Amino acid sequence: AGNRRRYTVRQLDDMLGLNTQKELGAVARRGLVIGYCRVSSSGQKADLERQAEVVANYCEKQRYQFRIIKDIGSGMNYKKKGLQELLRLVCEGGCSKIVVNYKD
């Protein structure tokens, strides 16, 4: 619909015939992929660990060079240590993609 097509970076690399070694180098040049996981309270630590595991498994399967950042606190609190670190990485160009388990 709309006469548009969307491709992932991996699809473009495959189309260009880049091998695994070149693909990994291309990912490194684009910046680190950040897996961001957050829960609202310390009582949800088990869910935080489960989220981190799901996100890490996804990133590994995609062969991303990644790092997981975890936070505990309200989604309305913008002063969380992990969120501040994530924003700094994005602003400095050190983050190519953010992977989350839940959009909220």
Residues taking part in catalysis: 40
Cα–Cα distances in angstroms (integers) from residue 74 to residues 27, 29, 44, 53, 57, in the given order? 32, 33, 12, 21, 25
Tell me the C-alpha distance between 34 and 22, whole Å: 21
Contacts of 31 by beta carbon, 8 Å cutoff, 6+ apart: 93, 94, 95, 96, 97
Side chain identity, residue 34: I
Q: Could you give the 3-state DSSP secondary structure of residue 72? A: strand
